Amino acid sequence: MNYQQHYHNDALEFDYWRKEKFSPTEIRRNQSVYALCNIEKGAKVLDVGSGRGWFSLYAAKQGADVTALDLSEDNLQKIKAVDPRITTVYGDACDVPIKDTKYDLIVALEVMEHLVNPQAALLNWESLLKPGATLLITVPYKETILYSLCIHCNKKTPYNAHLHSFDKAALIKLLQESGYQITESHLFLHKLLTLLRINEITKRLPFCIWKHLDRLCALLGDKYSFIGIKASLKPSC
């Protein structure tokens, strides 16, 4: 089975639009990502690997002109049903089938770790960015990738289909080698807050207060769940 078919089947087998919505930890993850973006009304936004559409739907509510790209037609149909203003495109992150549109913001949220060739995707996105536009990448931070034995092919299979693990240096190097310059980098969602169920206990706290709590946890080590990096294209000589 190729990876395109895998993600098609994944969306059919697992209900990412479940009734219980997002957990307190997922909500804080989402809020942390929103805080990294300055989405202006009318901005053109491309959500690569949009999945269940949480970012696309948020950006559309801010007044952005949003395109959601995914390998699951089922998820794309559900995004469109919730907000018909969103343009949905079935396609591969490494070969985006959009040629005549440029974007103010491209996001790839927890996508890079799934790609067979992350650099091919980064190079593909260059032609889709307006001059001075922003690329936002988030990935699991220093993830230990676990494997199970596939009962069908008898080969090691990574949990959650994660193929790569990134730390800050590795992700920055990948972006720079692909023609990007780094503008910001942030660690977020400290694992201690999840382990001690603090996210659940403090779920009614405003994000601005929770954010300081998350940053304070850095005193206990950089055991964060995610890293987010904002980049733009290097200026041509």
Residues paired with 82 in a beta bridge: none
Pick the CATH number of 3-233 from 3.30.460.10, 3.60.20.10, 3.40.50.150, 3.40.50.920: 3.40.50.150
Domain residue spans of the chain? 3-233
Residue 30 sits at φ, ψ, to 5 deg, of -60, -45
- Per-residue pLDDT band at 14 (split at 50, 70, 90): low
Q: Evaluate if residue 3 carries a pLDDT over 60.
A: no
Structure tokens at 59: 């950006």
Instruction: Taking residues 167-194, report their average pLDDT.
Output: 97
Q: Evaluate if residue 232 carries a pLDDT over 70.
A: yes
Q: What is the pLDDT of residue 147?
A: 74
Residue 132 sits at φ, ψ, to 5 deg, of 80, 5
Give me the amino acid identity at 43. Answer: A
Closest C-alpha to 28, from 234, 233, 218, 213: 213
Q: What is the pLDDT of residue 31?
A: 97
SS3 content of the chain, % helix, strand, coil (to 5): 40, 25, 35
Q: What is the pLDDT of residue 13?
A: 52
Q: When comparing pLDDT for 19 and 201, which is higher?
A: 201
This prediction's pTM: 0.90
- Residues 6+ positions from 208 with CB-CB distance below 8 Å: none
Structure tokens at 171: 């992700």
Q: What is the pLDDT of residue 155?
A: 76
Q: What is the pLDDT of residue 183?
A: 97
Helix (H, G, I), strand (E, B) or coil at 148: strand
- Per-residue pLDDT band at 17 (split at 50, 70, 90): low
Q: In this structure, are residues 122 and 178 in contact, taking their beta carbons and an 8 Å threshold?
A: yes
Q: What is the pLDDT of residue 119?
A: 96
Quickly list H helices, the chain: 3-13, 24-35, 54-61, 73-82, 118-125, 168-177, 191-195, 198-201, 207-216
Closest C-alpha to 69, from 85, 52, 92: 92
Structure tokens at 76: 């794309």
Q: DSSP code of 3? A: H
Q: Evaluate if residue 12 carries a pLDDT over 50.
A: no
pLDDT tens, position by position, 116-151: 999 999 999 999 999 999 999 999 999 988 777 777
